[in-house]
């Protein structure tokens, strides 16, 4: 089970997609913000974290269905800024 701290160390972050077909909002989140808000020991797995990440568009539209799917993706911003020790990022010259 991956935690937010492990994700950050690996140079990754969370991409979330709203599963409401009328919305289909996709966002790549800041791993630093997630760690600040939830703590680095918090699980980064879909089943543990999806309820902490309500879709902002659905909330604004008053839709109650806020299931999001969570994917672990490379944190390109962090890699570009050299904030991680990701070996793949270094090899690619980020």
Chain residues that interact with Zn ion, rule: CB under 5 A: 18, 20, 23, 25, 55, 57-58
Q: Pick between residue 25 and residue 83 the one whose CB is nearest to Zn ion.
A: 25
Q: Which is nearer to Zn ion, 27 or 38 (CB)?
A: 27
Choose between 18 and 70: whose C-beta lies nearer to Zn ion.
18
70 Cβ contact list (under 8 Å, min separation 6): 14, 15, 16, 44, 45, 46, 49, 50, 53
DSSP state of 55: -
Q: Which DSSP symbol is given to 68? A: E
Least CB distance to Zn ion at residue 60 (A): 9
Q: How far is the CB of 32 from Zn ion (least distance, A)?
A: 23
Query: Minimum distance between the CB of residue 76 and Zn ion, rounded to whole angstroms?
Result: 23
């Amino acid at each position: 089970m991956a935690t937010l701290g492990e994700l950050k160390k690996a140079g990754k972050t969370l991409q979330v997609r709203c599963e409401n077909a009328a919305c289909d909002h996709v966002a790549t989140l800041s791993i630093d913000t997630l760690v600040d808000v939830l703590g680095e020991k918090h699980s980064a797995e879909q089943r543990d974290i999806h309820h902490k990440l309500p879709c902002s568009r659905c909330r604004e539209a008053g839709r109650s269905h806020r299931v999001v799917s969570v994917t672990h993706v490379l944190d390109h911003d962090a890699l570009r800024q050299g904030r991680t020790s990701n070996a793949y990022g270094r090899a690619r010259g980020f």
